[in-house]
A and B are shown apart, each in its own frame.
Chain A
Amino acid sequence: MSEGFEPRIVGFFCKWCTYAGADLAGTSRLQYPPNVLPIRVMCSSRVDPVFLLTAYLRGADAVLIGGCHPGDCHYIEGNYYTRRRVALLKNIFETLKLDTERLRLSWISASEGPRFAKVITEYTENTKKIGPNPAKNKIFI
């Protein structure tokens, strides 16, 4: 592991739940590591697995999708699709011998500011532990 390694994590957060949860973490002045760049989408189901793969192959040290808890998606069952797609992508990661630890899906509601901060903190720490994405320096695309 390289010294002072600061992972770059791409986060896709649905507007209704996780993004709002992140806002609440801010309003509550919680502190968490600055390693995630949040990208707002209407629903987690918008996130085509190709985005995640692209982010990874482009050198993201980790990717995170945040959506509403099961049953709470504002588009009814979008997050169930997200869950299936992420599971599928994890399988692909395994087949390609890529690190599934760099891919995470979390349900964080609009009222779970502390949970948002906790998820980001843990994920960042874990990513620091496993080190930089080895795909970063290889040319994939």
Chain B
Amino acid sequence: MSDKIGVYVCECGPNIGEAIDIDKVIEAISPIEDVAVVRRHKLLCSGDGQNFLVDEIKNEGLTHVVLGACSPKDHEITFMNVATRAGINPYLIQVVNIREQCAWIFKDKDIATKKAIKYIRAGIERIKYHKPLQKKELDANPDVLVLGGGLAGIEAALALTQTDRKVYLVEKSADLGGSVMKFEKLLSHQGFNLGLIKEKVDKINSNENIEVLTSTNVESVIGFFGNFEVTTKPAGEEAGGKSFIVGAVVVASGYNWFDLESTPRYGYKKIEDVFTINDFGRMIEESEKLKLSTGKEPKSIALVHCGGRKELGYCSRVCCMQMMNIGNYIKDKYPGIEVHELHSDLCVSSKNDQKYYEKSKEKGINFIRMKGVEVGGKAGAISIEYTTLAGDKGKLAVDMAVVAPGMIPEAGTPQVADMLNVPLHPTGFFKEGHEKLNPVGTTMDGIYVVGCAQGPKSFMETLIQAQAATGKIFSHLIPGKKIEPEVKVSEIIEAFCTGCQTCLDVCFYGAITYDEDKGVSVVNEAICRGCGNCAGSCPSDAIRPKHFTTTQLYQEVVEALRE
């Protein structure tokens, strides 16, 4: 059957009708090979216009339709639906933008008309090479794996519970709760009651839709959105593993602390009575008393911010608050102890936190802004040497120092990233799907990263991310509903592929794999987003983005160059 192309030029009321001489367009287009009908209409996107198109396609027996109208951004989907209604494949229509990029920019009617003819001609030549593309529907498992049971993982697991959806919460340590749980006294002092987290943990444990697997590691995750096969193994054991299928994965594996010992200038582990936040938290957890190595109570304490920030190259956001909280704790319990806070910037960015700074000032805490610091001396006579912003040197004698180590990625992050096939940020944390468009997603559909696994984060931000990922899963992975992967994907023509594997490197989504047996690369169409980067990279022209083939684009180039 030969092609019967219908071309419809929309007047869009006066928008196109007055700017372009449509009759001239029709006259120029009509003689083109395979063009069966060329007609105009007042408003193609209106109900009337759509019905008109359906009738035209049916009555004229059209195989392809080119629409000279507005930007495809506006009504491509409308017209694709029209095609489906009329019984032709929705990818056999082409919307040619003669409004935004023609009628509205060229004041001269003659020029606008000539351009419209050129654009539509290009659309006609292109559509001759369109192939019908089929929408695919895949079964999707609505269950979710939450990897890590800290604040972020707990929040996500609870928020995700819903009948018809099972949540597997896998935690490598023996208990849920994560990094905060050991610091009850310190955190309750700033009004963060760990009882709230314990309540959530209880809710999780009693929820029959959540399966909690503590002391468990995830061994492998293979598949794609809607269908990931997961295997787990109890920590330190060979047997007793599980395997199950989930549709999505929420990574909530948290963070570690910068190793202060690696940086001699903090004197950590070399000078007694120099502590980290964690050490301090544990000390007060054991007994309320603040004790030096001599057994005496300290008289002056220096709180040194930004431990390792220079080495890490980023601010850890929450250490300033942690330090101010420690300062307040000391002053409230032991008003006689002198407290100095040596900070570089003071990161008090939440509307709830400013009050701690004011309180610290009221309690007489001495804030010193510095750009460099060195902890020296010895137990009993610790000396803090610092440089102010102006470059002046200063010195403090204290008998205790607490240094705030920055947050770094959890030690197992690279392995988890490798297992999930998602990239890491240069800092070593997980990389978000897109800084501005997809902050809790990743490059893999169906894999989300929340909490400090994605970067240093406060309590509140951690919860926000967990809830955001939940929202995404609720709207994209609905129990009982199939998922529709991108239709305009790329494919590799086996016969042309030399197996060079250049395309594997450029695909950000890991959609391409190399088939060792055949010596060619293959696109996984369930993962491909259709960007075409692989096609742009292939030295053998073996890759065909299905709706942006070389031939289709080439037709447009040729029309662009027609005299």
Contacts and interface: CB of A to CB of B under 8 A. Distances in A.
B490 to A, nearest CB: 9
A92 interface: no
B533 A78 contact: yes
Interface residues of A, number: 47
Interface in B366-394: none
Contact of A46 (B106, B112, B434, B536): B536
Interface in A28-81: 29-32, 34, 37-43, 45-51, 54-55, 58-60, 71-72, 74-78, 81
Contacts of A24: 100
Contact of A58 (B541, B545, B557): B557
A59 B436 contact: no
B28 interface: no
B447 interface: no
Which of A26, A41, A55, A58 has the most chain B CB atoms closer than 10 A to its own CB?
A26
A46 B105 contact: no
A41 B71 contact: no
A20 interface: yes
A85 B105 contact: no
Contact of B536 (A20, A30, A45): A45
Given A42-B530, A54-B554, A59-B561, A29 B105 contact: yes
Contacts of A41: 532, 548, 553
A27 interface: yes
B99 A26 contact: yes
A41 B549 CA distance: 10
A83 B443 CA distance: 21
B105 A43 contact: no
A108 interface: no
Given A34-B111, A77-B508, A42 B71 contact: no
Q: What's the dominant secondary structure at chain B's contact region?
A: helix
A41 B100 CA distance: 17
Contacts of A48: 535-536, 538, 541, 550
Contacts of B100: 22-27
B73 A37 contact: no
A60 B216 CA distance: 62
A93 to B, nearest CB: 18
B537 A42 contact: no
A63 B200 CA distance: 59
A42 B561 contact: no
A78 B118 CA distance: 29
Interface in B96-113: 97, 99-107, 111-112
B340 interface: no
Contact of A27 (B104, B508, B556): B104
Interface string B71-82: 111000000000
A82 interface: yes
A25 B100 CA distance: 7
B85 interface: no
Nearest to B74: A23
Contacts of B97: 23, 38
B434 to A, nearest CB: 6
A76 B434 contact: yes
Interface of A: 8-10, 12, 19-20, 22-27, 29-32, 34, 37-43, 45-51, 54-55, 58-60, 71-72, 74-78, 81-82, 85, 117
Interface of B: 71-73, 97, 99-107, 111-112, 114-115, 118-119, 122, 433-437, 443, 488, 506, 508, 529-533, 535-538, 541, 545, 548, 550, 553-554, 556-561
Given A10-B557, A37-B560, A45-B506, 7 more contacts: A19-B71, A23-B100, A32-B105, A37-B119, A41-B553, A51-B557, A85-B536
7 nearest A-B residue pairs (beta carbon): A46-B532, A26-B100, A37-B560, A45-B533, A75-B531, A26-B104, A43-B531
8 contacts: A38-B101, A39-B560, A41-B553, A42-B545, A46-B535, A54-B557, A58-B558, A75-B531
